[in-house]
Amino acid sequence: MPIELKMPALSPTMEEGTLAKWLVKEGDAVKSGDLLAEIETDKATMEFEAIDEGVVSQILVPEGTDNVKVGTVIAVIAGEGEDAGSAKAAPAPAPAAEPKGEAAAPKEEAKKDVPAAAPAPAVTTAPTASGERIKASPLAKRLAADQGIDLSTLTGSGPGGRIVKADLEGAAPAAASAAAPAPAAATPAAAPAIAGPIPDFGIPHEDEKLSGMRKTIARRLTESMQQSPHIYLTVDIRLDALLKLRGELNASLESRGIKLSVNDMLIKALAVALERVPSCNVSFGGDVMRKYSRADISVAVSIPGGLITPIIVDAGGKSMSKISTEMSELAAKAKEGKLQPSEYQGGTASISNMGMMGIKQFTAVINPPQAMIMAIGAGEKRPYIVDDALAIATIMSTTGSFDHRAIDGADGALLMKTFKELVENPLGLVA
């Protein structure tokens, strides 16, 4: 019987993805391990491999389709001995047919001689005051209930006049009150939209469709600033001793092809500081506080189209040369879009360094569910008091952002103090 290929979940949190490119075409023979397609998640583009042998009889979701739900049948393979021409499935739901990526309604009938593709969730309807049923997607119905919007006042833009998420944008919540037969129980307010349509002021422009990564960045940073009360603590750190040690270490590591960066050493310093101040190596979970016994440092890396945070696992327990090697490998994979989910999901704290771009000081947004992030500014020559005398020293301004629900100001200050001491006396990082 035909084998259905379904959109895989390439990470524990993946709910949908973009079918970026097919690497096979209908009629191609495939075997286990062959690459079938490239799938773009919110963080990376990953390859999808075949696990069965057969002939690709039907491609149901064309390449370039956005917001394909996990579990959607994307292609059919005819098994050994089957006629590829007869091994067809009912057309899969086409996510791109509706605005904002909602799954389209499946066809009512499939061919009887072969299993049908897995159907999308049934269309949800809502009654009007006259008893007439209104077609609306489950997502649109839920959002309308959260925002107090009367679906009967809207015109659906989906297939068959179905109301979808995009139709709710700009709808007036007050319309729901007139249709409600009685006061409803209070429901939690929905999170505000990240942004509405951009007004057209007649300025020449070009609108570029957002990638899944950019959408995720926008959503997560908005949620972080709305839900996590940030407190910012800044210290000035003298870098001269660390720069001197870096030069000495690089001279000894040159034969091994390793060259430590300042950032490698700062990753180590943050991890050791978190181990010494465990009250900052935590996550806030509503009614629980998760205390980590290991410092895994997420490192912000800029890549085309966005930002990703590969993780140095147990950075406090690794040598700086090991951190340097791992960081080089992870950064290269990040820029190629080849990071595995386990390499960027997790982490107990983050570090973001804009010093190499000449940024003197900045504040960074916490990466939930982490409770802190360290923002590293540029090291620059400044007048500084050294041994009670004015001198010129290389100074770096560093700002920690802390989730005040999880970390008290005094604990955050102790972490910043510990980090400063480790950087100014860096032999503690090689001990």
Residue positions annotated with a catalytic role: 404
Task: Report yes or no: 415 and 271 within 8 Å, Cβ to Cβ.
Answer: no
Whole-number Å distance between alpha carbons of 212 and 208: 13
SS (H, E, C) the chain: CCEEEECCCCCCCCCEEEEEEECCCCCCEECCCCEEEEEECCCCEEEEECCCCEEEEEECCCCCEEEEECCCEEEEEECCCCCCCCCCCCCCCCHHHCHHHCCCCCCCCCCCCCCCCCCCCCCEEEECCCCCEEEECHHHHHHHHHHCCCHHHCCCCCHHHCECHHHHCCCCCCHHHHHCCCCCCCCCCCCCCCCCCCCCCCCCCCCCCCCHHHHHHHHHHHHHHHHCCEEEEEEEEECHHHHHHHHHHHHHHHHHCCCCCHHHHHHHHHHHHHHHCHHHCEEECCCCEEECCCCCEEECEEECCEEECCEECCHHHCCHHHHHHHHHHHHHHHHHCCCCHHHHCCCCEEEEECHHHCCCCCCCCCCCCCCEEEEEEEEEEEEEEECCEEEEEEEEEEEEEEECCCCCHHHHHHHHHHHHHHHHCHHHHCC
- Give the contacts of 387 (CB within 8 A, at least 6 positions apart): none
Candidates 354, 365, 359, 346; CA nearest to 231 is 365
Whole-number Å distance between alpha carbons of 237 and 350: 19
Whole-number Å distance between alpha carbons of 400 and 380: 19
Rounded to 5°, angle at Cα 227 from 224 and 228: 70
Candidates 293, 420, 398; CA nearest to 348 is 293
